[in-house]
């Protein structure tokens, strides 16, 4: 078995950080890493599985798929499992355990599926080997997992054995501790990395059993989280390569080196909890990297420090604190303590988010998190923070050597200072920063803020193709200079700036890939979480100039049926769904974009397939014959945003929106309910609406009202109309 198909799961809501972590872990291998719904898929050699089990701080399970088959009934499931050559994976004397998950399938009882799977394995081994394995519920030699979704079964080995969050160091705890992989994910979200540990100090003032500080110390010392585990699901697997595993362990041990001058502090008002945390840290091998102290929050003190302090904690809740003091006072004391430590940042996971206002701190970000059975909020606050505009001014003073950069640098800084304030007031995290404001620097620059880690920014620079009159060498020099200015001005790395050339696109070329990284980032717009891709396509997957149009749809979609034509990545469908639409049909000809649209809907828990549907179709053909595609007779809201031109080989005929829009709108209006609304938008320059439409419909040009603040320098970015039936 040279090439394995692995599926890695982590804590729900942290799939994107898990994807990036696994990519980094496997960077030196030939493994292919892909983010999918619910986790990460990896195609690679056995070493990839070992490295993930050993080094991943965010994963909890690593499944190795053996087979995929139809499982519409118990007989088909039994046959599919029986056909697997189990004698290649385990010996008859091994112990096994079988688990199962089922969803939207005829076989809807997980325990029954697990029993049938176990029966098939046992029967095959007994028939071939003359004896059968035994079932062991605790640490079996081999663990098998079956997942059935839509009657399709994936039969896998669980190579992790126990969940990977069980590092092995925590034998005792008090109260309600965080699982280790969740603690690691929250630390990363708050900005604690091995690199950051050299300039930050970290404090958990309510350390409990020590999950945060121990995970933080292991990150800073580069200690692989699986290094001291004594049980994995692959240990007795017949495909296990003991020598390769030994080499992975040895390399991990050699890479574990503590940074000098680490500043990690743990305190608690409960002396017993503090002793448990110290014992756990000793077993993890990091007790010497953490300073423990018995302190009350109200009296919290730390040694003087010039840099910033990161305070991270999981405050007690309800009954845990009932006999000591009120929760309200605890949050007030925590806010006071942070102000004494300024400049400082507080990252807190709270089961009582209604008390966070007692901190009286400026909140930077928030994220819903599930901690065991509890719905919690993970919020980040700060006491003082140098503004990005101030940082920009400092960078401007340092300057680039080339005087040609000065006007561009000043314009970018001016735009950023204005737009950052506007974006913050309006809770906008993705916006256009520059759009060919200076003729000699013809490019657009968009800024995207991560929803996962609010301090993470990405910049998308799209160069407009220079006219033939401009020397190509000069155009290339200017764009390289612009990229240097952006990186210096905003203090970002090469990996945070994505550069493209936006030439005039014709036909299918506008959809062609620029790269094949498969790297998606999660951003927020209004109530929606959305995935963008800044490397593989010309556009990011989120048309920022349509932000106000999507907001209109969000506010008007309640209880309405929505038809989203040329749906692209489904962002309009997501906003409609979050706005309470009764149904949404997303239609596009591209299978790639439809998959992306499905992922966006799933990310927002819009996965009810009876309400949120996706149709791959040539929309010109669909509007010609809607009954062929089983469309509803009418829709309350239609969004129609076609490309300017397309001659895709998948289409029956070419599309020129200036030439064809009149006929297409006429056909689309036949699908619109009597009191419905069709929104038509186009980014075609010099577009003119067909005058023959005006006598037939009530048409209102709403372009000016749909151009956001960050696009007002380029008000021709799109045109938009509301179209209704007469007297609707």
Question: Which of 502, 519, 525 shows the shortest CA–CA distance to 445?
Answer: 502
Place of tokens 């290649």: 88
Please, what's the largest Cα pairwise distance for the chain?
A: 84
The answer to whether 163 and 61 have CB atoms below 8 angstroms apart is yes
Angle at 178 between CA 175 and CA 182, to 5 degrees: 175
Class in CATH terms, 388-503: alpha beta
pLDDT value at position 518? Answer: 66
How far is 460 from 596, CA to CA, in rounded Å?
19
Altogether, the residues listed in the chain come to a count of: 728
Residues contacting 627, CB < 8 A, separation 6+: none
Query: What's the pLDDT at 391?
Result: 40
pTM of the full predicted structure?
0.59
The pLDDT assigned to 402 comes to 58
Q: Which CATH number fits domain 521-724: 3.40.50.2300, 3.40.50.150, 3.40.50.2000, 3.30.420.10?
A: 3.40.50.150
d(CA 537, CA 705): 29
Q: Which regions in the chain score pLDDT beneath 70?
A: 1-2, 173-176, 318-326, 384-402, 502-518, 647-652, 728
- Helix 388-398 crosses helix 472-490 at what angle (to 10 degrees)? 130
> Which class is domain 180-222+257-382?
alpha beta
Provide CATH code, domain 4-158: 3.30.2130.30
Q: What is the pLDDT of residue 174?
A: 63
Write the pLDDT tens digit of every residue in 95-134: 999 999 999 999 999 999 999 999 999 999 999 999 999 9
* Residue 194 pLDDT: 93
pLDDT at 503: 54
Same fold for the pair 4-158 and 388-503: no
Token pair belonging to 650: 């998948």
**pLDDT at residue 576 in the model:** 98
On the 0-12 / 13-18 / 19+ scale of CB atoms within 10 A, 666 is middle
Only one residue has tokens 């059975």, namely: 373
**Which residues is 721 bridged to in the sheet?**
680, 701
N- to C-terminal Cα separation, the chain: 65
Sequence ranges of the domains in the chain: 4-158, 180-222+257-382, 388-503, 521-724
């Amino acid at each position: 078995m040279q090439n394995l198909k692995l599926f890695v799961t982590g804590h729900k809501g942290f799939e994107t950080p898990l994807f990036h972590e696994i990519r980094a872990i496997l960077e030196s291998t030939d493994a292919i890493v892909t983010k999918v719904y619910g986790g990460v898929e990896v195609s690679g050699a056995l070493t990839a599985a070992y490295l993930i089990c050993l080094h991943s701080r965010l994963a909890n399970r690593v499944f190795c798929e053996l087979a995929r088959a139809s499982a519409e009934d118990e007989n088909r499931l039994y046959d599919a499992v029986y056909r697997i050559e189990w004698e290649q994976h385990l010996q008859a004397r091994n112990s096994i355990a079988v688990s199962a998950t089922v969803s939207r399938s005829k076989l809807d009882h997980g325990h029954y599926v697990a029993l049938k799977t176990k029966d098939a394995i046992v029967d095959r081994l007994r028939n071939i080997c003359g004896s059968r394995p035994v079932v062991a519920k605790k640490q079996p030699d081999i663990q098998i997992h079956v997942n059935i979704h839509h009657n399709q079964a994936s039969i896998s080995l669980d190579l992790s054995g126990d969940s990977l969050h069980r590092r092995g160091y925590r034998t005792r705890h008090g109260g309600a501790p965080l699982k280790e992989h969740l603690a690691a994910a929250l630390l990363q979200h708050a900005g604690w990395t091995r690199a950051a540990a050299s300039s930050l100090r970290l404090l958990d003032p309510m350390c409990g059993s020590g999950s945060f500080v121990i995970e933080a110390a292991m990150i800073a010392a580069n200690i692989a989280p699986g290094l001291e585990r004594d049980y994995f699901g692959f240990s007795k697997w017949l495909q296990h390569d003991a020598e390769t595993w030994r080499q992975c362990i040895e390399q991990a041990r050699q890479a574990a080196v503590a940074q000098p001058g680490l500043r990690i502090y743990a305190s608690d008002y409960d002396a017993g909890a503090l002793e448990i945390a110290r014992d756990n840290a000793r077993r993890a091998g990091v007790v010497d990297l953490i300073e423990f102290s018995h302190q009350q929050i109200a009296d919290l003190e730390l040694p003087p420090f010039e840099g910033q302090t990161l305070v991270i904690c999981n405050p007690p809740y309800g009954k845990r604190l009932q006999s000591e003091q009120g929760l309200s006072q605890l949050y007030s004391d925590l806010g006071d303590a942070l102000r004494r430590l300024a400049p400082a940042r507080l990252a807190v996971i709270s089961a009582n988010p209604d008390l966070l206002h007692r901190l009286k701190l400026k909140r930077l970000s928030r994220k819903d998190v599930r901690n065991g059975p509890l719905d919690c909020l993970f919020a980040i606050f700060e006491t003082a923070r140098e503004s990005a505009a101030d940082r920009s001014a400092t960078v401007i003073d340092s300057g680039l050597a080339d005087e040609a950069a000065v006007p561009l640098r000043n314009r970018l800084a001016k735009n950023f200072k204005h737009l950052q304030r506007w974006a913050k007031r309006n809770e906008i995290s993705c916006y256009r920063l520059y759009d060919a404001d200076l003729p000699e620097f013809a490019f657009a620059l968009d800024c995207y803020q991560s929803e996962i880690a609010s301090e993470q920014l990405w910049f998308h620079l799209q160069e407009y193709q220079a006219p033939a009159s401009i020397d190509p060498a000069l155009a290339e020099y200017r764009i390289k200079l612009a990229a240097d200015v952006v990186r210096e001005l905003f203090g970002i790395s090469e990996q945070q700036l994505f550069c493209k050339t936006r030439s005039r696109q014709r036909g299918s070329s506008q959809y062609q890939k620029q790269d094949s990284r498969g790297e998606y980032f999660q951003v927020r717009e209004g109530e929606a979480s959305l995935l963008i891709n800044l490397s593989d396509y010309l556009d990011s997957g989120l048309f920022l100039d349509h932000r106000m149009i999507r907001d209109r749809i969000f506010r008007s979609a309640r209880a309405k049926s929505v038809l989203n034509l040329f749906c692209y990545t489904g962002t309009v469908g997501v906003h409609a769904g979050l706005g309470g639409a009764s149904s949404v049909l997303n239609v596009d000809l591209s299978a790639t974009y439809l998959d992306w649209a499905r992922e966006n809907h799933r990310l927002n828990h819009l996965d009810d397939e009876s309400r949120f549907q996706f149709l791959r179709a040539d929309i010109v053909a669909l509007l010609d014959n809607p009954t062929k595609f089983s469309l509803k007779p009418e829709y309350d809201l239609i969004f129609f945003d076609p490309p300017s031109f397309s001659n895709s080989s998948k289409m029956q005929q070419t599309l020129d929106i200036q030439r064809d829009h009149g006929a297409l709108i006429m056909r689309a209006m036949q699908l619109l309910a009597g009191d419905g609304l069709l929104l038509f938008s186009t980014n075609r320059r010099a577009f003119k609406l067909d005058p023959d439409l005006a006598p037939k419909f009530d048409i209102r040009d709403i372009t000016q009202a749909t151009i956001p603040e960050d696009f007002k320098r380029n008000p021709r970015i799109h045109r938009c109309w509301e179209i209704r039936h007469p007297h609707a």
